[in-house]
Amino acid sequence: MSDSEASSESENAKDQGNSDSSNPKSQDIKDRLKEFAQPFVDSLDGRLRNQVDKRVDARVDATLSARLSVIERAIADLDRSIKELQERLDS
């Protein structure tokens, strides 16, 4: 076997080793890694979801609180105006 033939064979072997989809052992390792990592991914996903939910809830509460205070002030103003009008009518 010449040097060029040996080189060609080693390159073909490298190409076959790099092809993950055709290598069942590589796919098995990937599947096992995914299976092993899935609980960690699920846990992290759950914690991030809770964090995002808390932040969204806090922002919604702050927004609603601000709008509600404006509405409460408007109701108080209307109540005072109605009382003043009733006093004028009674006089």
Q: What is the DSSP string of 19-41?
A: -TTT-HHHHHHHHHHHHHHHHHH
d(CA 70, CA 20): 63
| Spacing of C-alpha 8 from chain mean position | 49
Nearest-CA neighbor of 31 among 20, 42, 40, 45? Answer: 20
Task: Return the minimum-mean-pLDDT range out of 15-24, 26-35, 77-86.
Answer: 15-24
pLDDT confidence of 21, banded at 50, 70, 90?
Answer: low
Q: What is the pTM of this model?
A: 0.46
pLDDT tens-digit profile of 77-90? 999 999 999 999 99
CA distances, 12 to each of 3, 5, 21, 69, 84 (Å): 14, 11, 16, 74, 96
**48 vs 22 pLDDT, higher one:** 48
